[in-house]
Amino acid sequence: MAADQAPAHRAGGELPVTGIGIDLSEETIFTWGAPPLKFGAGAVDEIGFEMAQFGARRVLILTDPQVNALGIPARIAESLTRHGITSEIFDGVHVEPTDDSMDKAAGYAREQGPWDGFVAVGGGSSIDTAKAVNLLTTDGGSLMDYLNKPIGAGQAPKQQLKPLIAVPTTAGTGSESTAMCVLDVLSMRVKTGISHWRLRPTLAVIDPLLSLTIPPEVTASAGQVQTTAGALYTQSKAGTVGTFSVVLTSVNGVSANGQTAYFLHGTATVTLAGQGTAAPSTATITATF
Ligand SMILES: NC(=O)c1ccc[n+]([C@@H]2O[C@H](COP(=O)([O-])OP(=O)(O)OC[C@H]3O[C@@H](n4cnc5c(N)ncnc54)[C@H](O)[C@@H]3O)[C@@H](O)[C@H]2O)c1
Please report the atom of ligand 1 found closest to the CA of residue 64: 37
Q: Is the beta carbon of 95 within 6 A of some atom in ligand 1?
A: yes
> What gap in Å lies between CA 181 and CA 130, rounded to an integer?
9
- Segment holding 285, helix H or strand E: strand 282-288
The closest residue, in CA terms, to atom 35 on ligand 1 is 214
As a whole number of angstroms, the distance between CA 234 and CA 205 comes to 30
What's the confidence (pLDDT) of residue 30? 78
pLDDT tens, residue by residue, 97-149: 999 999 999 999 999 999 999 999 999 999 999 999 999 999 999 999 999 99
Does pLDDT of 247 surpass 90?
no
Q: What's the pLDDT band for 193 if we cut at 50, 70, 90?
A: very high
Task: Note the pLDDT of residue 277.
Answer: 42
The residue whose CA is least distant from atom 5 of ligand 1 is 173
| pLDDT of amino acid 21 | 73
Average pLDDT of the chain to the nearest whole number:
84
Output the residue whose Cα is nearest ligand 1's atom 12: 124
For the chain, residues classed under CATH 3.40.50.1970 are 3-210
Q: How far apart are CA 37 and CA 205, in angstroms?
A: 6
**What percent of the chain is predicted at pLDDT more than 70?**
68
* pLDDT: which is higher, 263 or 156: 156
Q: Any idea which fold 3-210 has?
A: Rossmann fold (3.40.50)
Identify the weakest region by mean pLDDT among 4-18, 130-144, 188-202, 203-217.
4-18
Which pLDDT score is estimated for 280? 46
Banded pLDDT at 171 (limits 50, 70, 90): confident
Looking at residue 221, its pLDDT comes to 75
Ligand 1 geometric centre to CA of 206 (Å): 14
Closest CA to 261 of 232, 225, 220: 220
* CB 210 less than 6 A from any atom of ligand 1: yes
User: What are the pLDDT digits (tens) for 43-77?
Assistant: 999 999 999 999 999 999 999 999 999 999 999 99
Please identify, by atom number, the ligand 1 atom nearest to the C-alpha of residue 96: 41
> Which uninterrupted H or E stretch holds 186?
none
Q: What is the DSSP letter of 54?
A: T
- Supply the pLDDT for residue 216: 81
Give bridge partners of residue 193 from the DSSP assignment. 182
Contact between residue 181 and residue 194 where contact means Cβ atoms under 8 Å apart: yes
Give the Cα separation of 169 and 178 in Å (integer).
16
